[in-house]
Structure 1
């Protein structure tokens, strides 16, 4: 008769975790006096061995996730903020989300919020556009052991970050591909309105667009710096210089300023913009705006939570099936 297989106990957990049996007993009986790193090792070993007992939480006390957002009322940021708020309601017990709003054009305030938070954080979501100055403050977050998720801006040179967003270079290339297709591969004249020259996401869109545009095409890039009235004024300047523009690509969201000008044109150009919202939907239904590239901010919020929970060792949650954000393309026929 075969001897029954012995169920794993504290000794087996200790061997797998590389700690003493006493340490295993302290962790599993929640007696404290164990570092967070050792506690995690023991709980992971116990879970892998399928120890027959209810395991304690992998973390002591409440965990705090801070999301830093800009005070920007545009639809994209409003959707992202709302998505984070709703995602926060679904977090497991003992984990809370705090949203911190910082004036958009105040990099020093953003840096202070990133590097000198008033709360003890386990994770940080930077849900804001990041310029070069802000980017230099982010390594300090990771040196402090916090989980870092970036939304909207990907920084290739920053190790150990997670990016919950779309590939902005691919976004720009997609816009150029749509124009190339509409022009049947012929060279064309394009006006580009770049919403911001200091933000990496907008620079990436421009780089991708220029690299993909049909050879021989001419283009003019004018920078609005997201100033009120700038898009309408610069579009008028473009059309005065090149009345027969074939296409317009806008990296931001200035539809309300541009639409009245384009309505007056008899032979209007192809128009491609970013971020789906009610105004863009109306313009696509009207036939004035041809395509909108969208980042899906609600999914960006949910995927950020999924990543953080997985890094915390909480694999079963309401976010476990959330897929990574993907670029979405809208036109009048798929609204």
Structure 2
């Protein structure tokens, strides 16, 4: 009867120490991905009884950098991460959330570099910053995946997961042009952060469609709310007070409730077309009440799921071809919300 293989046999076949085999097979961590693969390959060749599927070998720890949940979209991302951590875990991946302030990119860069050394992957949804991009490149240089979520960052080696923001902006422009009709009119555009690449792309797409097909519609002013809801509402209120020709508002980010409130206080609800993004519970109510005309939603739960699958694919815990990491968007009006 043939002798059964032992952990010592695996260690010799893999060219590693017995303690390394012990750490891998007992999921103790602290072993490089390359050595893990060597151990599992040797264990499979030797038909070791304790050999596990390498997909289940070690919990991959992911650091997710999101804005505080005061921002409705980031609150939805936070909820999606928490649900993924609690739900079925076919890839053995757990994600820890780090809330960062969008106005402090240097601090974010420092936190990313520190967390990147201690985690297996990084998911991040913040505006581009050169120092932050360099910190993320340190992570990619370690051989770890960096997922830029919903808005891109100019970082070597990063994987973008999220909607085609240029197309989303074009969709908003098409809706605005059709809502305003042949009469057209002036439009105000509110960005959360002008430096956020995803929002830049939305603005480019929005204005491109107006120029191509709706020349009667014109963007009169572009504002920056700094992701502050109250500021977004105040900007709209003052703009409408000084310019009676405004017939459309395109809000790219936070502040839909405050904008709707400004329209109501001025008696402009129903007279000014209001288009925004992200179908949160509060925005659904505003849409149903007619305070918002259209919402373009990018489904944060699908984005988190796609990001996790991209990380799993990077570590070969799923099929190599996982499909596109560009996620779809949906348009919601009062009748389908």
Pairwise TM-score range, normalised by the shorter structure: 0.7 to 0.9
In 1: Cα distance, 2:261 partner to 2:95 partner: 42
Change in 2 beyond 3 A, CA 1:262/1:63: closer
State the number of aligned residues. Answer: 308
Structure 1 unaligned regions, length at least 5: 1-20
Partners of 1:275 and 1:32 in 2: how far apart?
44
Q: TM-score, normalised by structure 2?
A: 0.77
Checking the alignment, whether the CA contact within 8 Å between 2:123 and 2:147 is kept in structure 1 is yes
Change in Cα spacing, 1:25 to 1:242, as seen in structure 2 (3 Å) is closer
Q: CA deviation at 1:321?
A: 10
Asked whether the 8 Å contact 1:180–1:186 carries over to 2, the reply is: no
CA shift at 1:146, angstroms? Answer: 1.0
Distance in 1, matches of 2:270 and 2:33, equals 66
Q: Which structure 2 residues correspond to residues 238-249 of structure 1 after superposition, within 5 A?
A: 238-249=239-250
- Report the TM-score when normalising by structure 1: 0.78
Secondary structure (helix, strand or coil) at the match of 2:98 reads: strand
Does the 8 Å contact 2:187/2:246 carry over to 1?
yes
1:225-276 per-residue CA deviation (whole Å, 9 max, x = no partner) reads 2345322332233223431322111111212222233231276121101111
Richer in helix (by share): 2
Deviation at 1:295, TM superposition (A): 1.7
1:329 is paired with a residue of what secondary structure? strand
Give the equivalent residue in structure 2 for 1:258.
259
RMSD: 3.6
Distance 1:232 1:324, change over 3 A: closer
2:288 paired residue among 282, 285, 288: 285
Q: Distance in 2 between matches of 1:266 and 1:272?
A: 12
- Between the aligned partners of 1:266 and 1:79, the Cα distance in structure 2 is 27
Return the alpha-carbon distance in structure 2 between the equivalents of residues 300 and 255 of structure 1: 22
- Report the equivalent of 1:174: 171
Q: Distance in 2 between matches of 1:61 and 1:191?
A: 51
Give the direction of change, closer, same or farther, for the CA distance of 1:45–1:188 in structure 2 (3 Å limit). farther
For structure 2, which runs of at least 5 residues remain unmatched after alignment?
1-11, 25-30
Compute the displacement of 1:84 (Å): 0.8
CA distance in 1, matches of 2:83, 2:202: 29
Instruction: Tell me the equivalent position of 1:99.
Output: 97
For residue 85 of structure 1, report the CA deviation from its aligned partner: 1.4
Equivalent pair of 1:58/1:313 in contact (CA under 8 Å) = no
Distance 1:44 1:92, change over 3 A: same
